Amino acid sequence: MDLKRNQITVGELLDDPRSRAVVQKKLPSVLKHPLVGASRTVTLEQMLSFATAYLPQKKVDDLMDSLRNC
């Protein structure tokens, strides 16, 4: 998937069935979070800067590899 140099929005990722399935598989609790709707305009780059404070780097790297390959 073209992640647009990490400038793709969370909304675009969630609207695509392939990337949504990756997020569901790798981070299932994210889709149930009450702020997921409000984060639709956040870029992947912005989300990653936030996520690395809460997730191990290996998990972030695994998610990114899966998104690039879906």
Structural domain total, the chain: 1
- Cα angle 7, 12, 15 (rounded to 5 degrees) comes to 165
Work out the percent of the chain whose per-residue pLDDT is above 70: 100
The pLDDT tens digits of the residues spanning 14-39 come to: 999 999 999 999 999 989 999 999 99
Supply the range of the domain harboring residue 49.
Answer: 4-69
Please tell me the predicted confidence (pLDDT) of residue 59.
Answer: 95
Residues 6+ apart with CB under 8 A from 70: 1, 18, 19, 21, 22
Please tell me the predicted confidence (pLDDT) of residue 52.
Answer: 87
